[in-house]
Amino acid sequence: MAYQDELNTSRRYLMGPGPSDVHPRVLKAMATPLIGHLDPEFVDIMDDIKAMAQRTFQTQNHLTFVVSAPGSAGMETCLVNLLEPGDEALICIHGLFGGRMADIAERCGAKVIRVEAPWGGPVDPQQVKAALEHCSPKVLAIVHAETSTGVLQPLEEISRLARESGALFLVDAVTSYCGVEVKVDEWGIDAIYSGTQKCLSAPPGLSPVSFSERAVEALEQRKTKVQSWFLDLSLVRSYWAGARRAYHHTAPVSAMFALREAYRLVLEEGLENRFARHRRNHELLKRELEALGFEFLVQPDYRLPMLNAVKIPEGLDEAALRRRLLDEYNIEVGGGLGQFAGRIWRIGLMGESSTPNHVNMLASALRAIL
């Protein structure tokens, strides 16, 4: 594709780990003419987005907003604001993204205590309980939906342990948000971040976040400056939550238009209906793939319905098979990461990509190829 040519990409069916397919209404909203990022109308749109973020996170947290950067920046926002040099952070690791949290925490100058579980399984709360006997962390962090392995991590018991220890409970909900239950207030989550390109089915590039009053108090009691100017909540929150909106940065206006419409679609469907849809399509995919000789990596009780980690049947070249799906059928599925590179597929059924038609297209294509 030469740069002189008009942009004209192929029409793909996005069934990888993200981004997911986007509803035409979201694309239409994204094409809305620009207005200024401090225009009163745009401030009203920010308020709409904040209110819908609170509803979907199931929280009353006042400091709930959207970081003008992708989910990894949401991760950094939580960690750089809550951790100072010398703080202890207990990080639960059961895949690639738990490891990334530990890396960022160390860059904050924190002393990181790792609680690790084998890839493909959840963290056992007893591991966390044992670790807490030997440390007093300021933050206890865990990934709810580990995108690298397809594991859905139960949170309530670990949240209780965090609260009893006095630690702030930090959760990565990048893949789980708007696809399975995420109850910020009920589960005692102090800081949470997600992304827009997965079960929200908006374009990538934004990160919804929410902070409890305990987390805000920790921010206000810091003795050192937040190491990132752009992600410093003491600065950016005046843009999202101040009585008078103070300039902090130029928000990605078109992406915010798209996100507002994506949230409207989520709430029109209803959270419970949306969760049930993801579960139904996961079960349909399971039946179709197992009939073709694929095996699921994760035990049933801990499987993500929107991100399916499957083992490739013996004797097949997984990379060549994925490439044929893309080239011949315009279907994108994801390969493995880290320990699972070349060994598994990660098949996304997220948001607008979670339909029986997506499952049937993939199954039909695989039957034809195999």
Say what percent of the chain tops pLDDT 70: 99
Among 266, 298, 314, identify where a domain stops: 266
Whether 5 maps to a domain, the answer reads no
Average pLDDT over residues 105-119: 98
| pLDDT score at 5 | 87
Q: Which of 185-199, 225-239, 250-264, 320-334 has the lowest mean pLDDT?
A: 225-239
Average pLDDT over residues 313-321: 93
Angle at 352 between CA 307 and CA 365, to 5 degrees: 70
Pair (292, 331) in one structural domain: yes
Say what percent of the chain tops pLDDT 90: 94
Q: Check pLDDT > 90 for residue 130.
A: yes
Q: Check pLDDT > 80 for residue 310.
A: yes
Whether 4 maps to a domain, the answer reads no
| pLDDT score at 1 | 57
- Write the pLDDT tens digit of every residue in 259-302: 999 999 999 999 999 999 999 999 999 999 999 999 999 999 99
Pair (37, 178) in one structural domain: yes
| pLDDT score at 3 | 76
Whether 7 maps to a domain, the answer reads no
Pair (171, 41) in one structural domain: yes
What gap in Å lies between CA 91 and CA 102, rounded to an integer? 6
State the total domains in the chain. 2
| pLDDT score at 247 | 87
Collapse the DSSP code of 152 into the 3-class scheme (helix H, G, I; strand E, B; otherwise coil) and give the result. Answer: strand
| pLDDT score at 241 | 77
- The DSSP symbol for 110 reads -
Residue 244 belongs to what domain range?
24-266
| pLDDT score at 277 | 98
Whether 170 maps to a domain, the answer reads yes
Whether 243 maps to a domain, the answer reads yes
Pair (359, 291) in one structural domain: yes
Short-list 194, 241, 230, 185, CA closest to 47:
241
**In the sheet where 207-211 sits, what is the strand order?**
63-67, 207-211, 191-193, 168-172, 139-143, 88-93, 111-116
Pair (145, 199) in one structural domain: yes
Whether 198 maps to a domain, the answer reads yes
Q: Are strands 207-211 and 191-193 parallel, antiparallel or unpaired?
A: antiparallel
Residue type, 102: A
What pTM was computed for the model? 0.96
Average pLDDT over residues 165-180: 98
Pair (350, 206) in one structural domain: no
Pair (48, 127) in one structural domain: yes
Whether 6 maps to a domain, the answer reads no
Q: Give all strands (DSSP E) within the chain, no chain letters.
A: 13-14, 63-67, 88-93, 111-116, 139-143, 145-146, 151-152, 168-172, 191-193, 207-211, 295-296, 307-311, 331-332, 334-335, 344-348
Rg (CA), the chain: 21
Q: Where are the alpha helices (DSSP H) in 221-346?
A: 233-241, 253-269, 271-291, 318-329
Pair (242, 282) in one structural domain: no
Q: Check pLDDT > 80 for residue 2.
A: no
For residue 66, give Cα distances in angstroms to 46, 146, 172, 248, 286.
Answer: 9, 21, 15, 13, 34
Pair (162, 230) in one structural domain: yes
Give the model's confidence band at 244: pLDDT under 50 very low, under 70 low, under 90 confident, else very high: confident
Among 243, 266, 289, identify where a domain stops: 266
| pLDDT score at 150 | 98
What gap in Å lies between CA 57 and CA 184, rounded to an integer? 6
Among 266, 284, 301, identify where a domain stops: 266
Pair (172, 155) in one structural domain: yes
Whether 293 maps to a domain, the answer reads yes
Q: How far is CA 89 from the centre of its chain?
A: 21
Pair (248, 365) in one structural domain: no
Q: Is 34 left (phi over 0), alpha (psi -120 to 50) or beta?
A: beta
**Cβ-based burial of 293 (10 A; exposed 0-12, middle 13-18, buried ≥19):** middle
CATH assignment at residue 300 = 3.90.1150.10
- Write the pLDDT tens digit of every residue in 80-96: 999 999 999 999 999 99
- Write the pLDDT tens digit of every residue in 12-41: 999 999 999 999 999 999 999 999 999 999
| pLDDT score at 299 | 97
Pair (317, 290) in one structural domain: yes
Contact 281/360 with Cβ under 8 angstroms? Answer: no
Average pLDDT over residues 226-247: 88
Average pLDDT over residues 324-332: 98
For residue 340, give Cα distances in angstroms to 145, 221, 327.
Answer: 16, 42, 23
**Mean pLDDT score across all residues of the chain:** 96
CATH assignment at residue 77 = 3.40.640.10
